[in-house]
Amino acid sequence: MSGSVGIAACGVAAPSWRVAANDIRAAWGGKAKGTVAVCAPDEDPLTLAWSAAVAAMRSGGLDADAIGGLWWGTTRAPFAEGPSHAYLCAALGLSSGVRGALLSGSAHAGVDALLAAADAVVAGSVTTALVVASDALVPGLGTAFEARCGAGSAAFILSATGAAVVRASATHTAPVVDRYRGDREEATRDLYDARLFREEVFVPHVTEVALMLDLPDDARWSLPDPDGRLGAVVARRLGTSAVSSASAYEILGDTGAAAPLLGLIPALASTGPAGAVVYGGGRTTGVAFDVAAPIAGAGNLAVHGREVSYADVLRARGQLVPSGETVEMGLPPGGAAFVRGNPEMMGLLGGRCVDCGVISTPPSIHPHCVGCGGPKLEPVELARQGTVHTYVVNHAMPAPFEAPLALAVIDLDDGARLMVQATDPEGIEIGALVELVLRRYAVERGVPVYGFKTRATKLSNDPTE
């Protein structure tokens, strides 16, 4: 990489659920320590990516117009084939001409996205790039991986003036099978022979790539740790105890494509050399950084979640399904209603009356002004914060919805009024200050349907807390 490119800001996101690893292993006759992060039914890799990207943009003081490209790495995109990247761009309010790519296929995808974005900045294709890595894998039931499998997201703002400068990268490839998912399979399969993988693949390859980065002894490392022990083995080979990724694995579990970037974020909070190594899909890649100044948004991973049961996790993943009829939406997500309304839902748009200034929501349902009845409406992005005007909690819901489910009418800061679901029925009350966050409402005919929900406003700029 002949030009200079570095990280200018970063952000973190984690799902709202946590499950004790021992609860998972106990169901299959084993034991485990720690907790792992798990997506609630309305969360997935796209909503996590949105939250981390928003946090990074806030940390860097950037509006959507400043982002020239979005590179997104995820093992499990919402669409196996479809508009995942376009959905994320729309939800972030990025330009329709934004550059970038969606990279997938293995846990290597997060670093692939980072290096591709860095190349674009160096080449001058974009001035400011947004890199997001997110994952929420579905592990095989009863596998050793199930008690390690987590979820989370990290986002970086890259620019030529970023203070964490990319100084070098190295890669090693080998045609070996590690964790994988076959075509038309939902669950990620575990290692066939853990000892063979450890001794002949993982430890030698990761150590080799880390040494190729030629970092000094005081460097801080983000190292892969697929079983809770191998990261420490590699660290001993490198002669270091400065492993910043340990906290990410302890709090969130193995977050797949997001793991190397999440593990790097604590190392970006102080100056000095840092390195991140990722293994996945037969590829090992390392990236070295010189951190000239603490990076905005970096530091300890202060992410929290609500503890749930193993049964809750299985239901959320669709691995434990109730019998009986479910209620379908009745409208195909690829039909006219969604083609015309999706930009409104993903971009959170309203219609401002040219004559009186009242904002109607959603404009596709209210094509005339709800204030004066005027026919001339112009699209406008709605405010993301407001106050609860009123709400109702439904305590009986047909599958696939789960009770209690709260609907809230929100008076937004820009004067618009919007009715949406609430993420937490217990934390809602009239007059409460709330913010709007992207969530998944349903999956219909294989298509995830996204929209915004309301959540109690946080005092910090981190939308994951």
Q: In a 3-state reduction of DSSP, which class is residue 365?
A: coil
The span from the CA of 340 to the CA of 131, in Å, is: 29
pLDDT the model gives residue 461: 38
Residue at 255: amino acid letter = T
Mean pLDDT per 10-residue section of the chain, whose length is 465 residues: 85 96 93 92 97 97 97 95 96 96 96 98 97 96 93 98 96 93 90 90 97 96 94 96 92 95 96 97 97 94 88 91 68 78 89 94 89 92 95 83 88 94 88 95 87 78 42
- Does residue 66 sit in helix, strand or coil? helix
Angle at which helices 336-347 and 84-92 cross, to 10° = 50
How much is the pLDDT for 417?
94
Taking the C-alpha atoms of residue 190 and residue 177, their distance in angstroms, rounded to an integer, is 10
Please give the single-letter amino acid code of residue 142: G
Amino acid letter, residue 11: G
Which domains does the chain show, CATH number per domain? Answer: 6-317 (3.40.47.10), 336-456 (no CATH)
What confidence score (pLDDT) does residue 324 get? 63
Is residue 279 within 8 A of residue 205, CB to CB? The reply is: yes
Task: Check residue 184 and give its pLDDT.
Answer: 85
> What 3-state DSSP class applies to 312?
helix
Q: Give the pLDDT of residue 426.
A: 81
The reported pLDDT for the residue numbered 320 is 87
Q: What's the pTM value of the predicted model, to 2 decimals?
A: 0.91
Q: First-to-last CA distance in the chain?
A: 36
